[in-house]
Amino acid sequence: MRILVLADIHGNWPALQAVAAEPFDVCLCLGDLVDYGVEPAPCLAWVRDKAHYVVRGNHDHGVAQNVVIHGRSGFKYLTSVTRPLTRERLSEHDLRYLSRLPVSRLVTLDNTRYLLVHATPRDPLDEYAPPDVDFWARRLQNVEADVVCVGHTHQPYVLEVGDKLVLNPGSVGQPRDGDPRASVAVIEDYTIDLKRIEYPIDDTIAAVQASPLPEGAKNMLADVFRTGAPAPNGQK
């Protein structure tokens, strides 16, 4: 069985299209389908149709519940200006879909138990989890799973913590580790492969430039997409 693990698509349809060419038997999606990128609707449509198990991210929750963000810099600013556009470009059906996503899923595949959350088991939506064994050991004490799949940080890693593995596939739509290529994980024959996939970044930027976002936001987003680096002040 070939398992494709995705996270943090963030409305980047060209990136998701490139990732969709990857063969898989089962697709696990760890949330944050929306915000930042300006093409959320086709991303939701693909996930609804192709992903077998999906959990809610903090941005999915914020868009579904119309949580207003007041940010003047960094990713908080980008969230504040892209969220209204995201909601405008989604249907009521899309918003209901986001609102009904579970915050965690426990799935057994090939005799392996996978726990799916966006952030951490302790705080499924918002806790920022670095690749640190001591950090994770405190959060996995009562977790009955073999592999814990998380997103949120936009940085890929595989970490062995006792008898468990923590897997972060990185971000499909907005990597922040200095490599702008889409980041995913593939699990096959009990082996995890962190993969980077080229996609037409210029198409993503062109969609942003054609949107009604403020010019400053367009320039910031273009820079993040091109460099795969954090926003100017490193806000998450």
**Each residue's pLDDT expressed in tens, for the chain with a length of 236 residues:** 999 999 999 999 999 999 999 999 999 999 999 999 999 999 999 999 999 999 999 999 999 999 998 878 899 999 999 999 999 999 999 999 999 999 999 999 999 999 999 999 999 999 999 999 999 999 999 999 999 999 999 999 999 999 999 999 999 999 999 999 999 999 999 899 999 999 999 999 999 999 999 999 999 999 999 999 875 544 44
pLDDT of 235: 44
pLDDT of 232: 52
Residue 150 has, within 13 A of its CA and on its CB side, a CA count of: 26
pLDDT of 72: 81
Beta-strand runs (E) in 97-181:
104-109, 112-117, 147-149, 157-161, 164-168
The helix (run of H) or strand (run of E) holding residue 184 is: strand 182-188
Burial class (CB in 10 A: 0-12, 13-18, 19+), 212: exposed
The residues that bridge with 187 in the sheet, in sequence order, are 3, 192
pTM: 0.95
Please state which CATH class domain 2-103+171-227 belongs to.
alpha beta
pLDDT of 231: 58
All structural domains of the chain with their residue ranges: 2-103+171-227
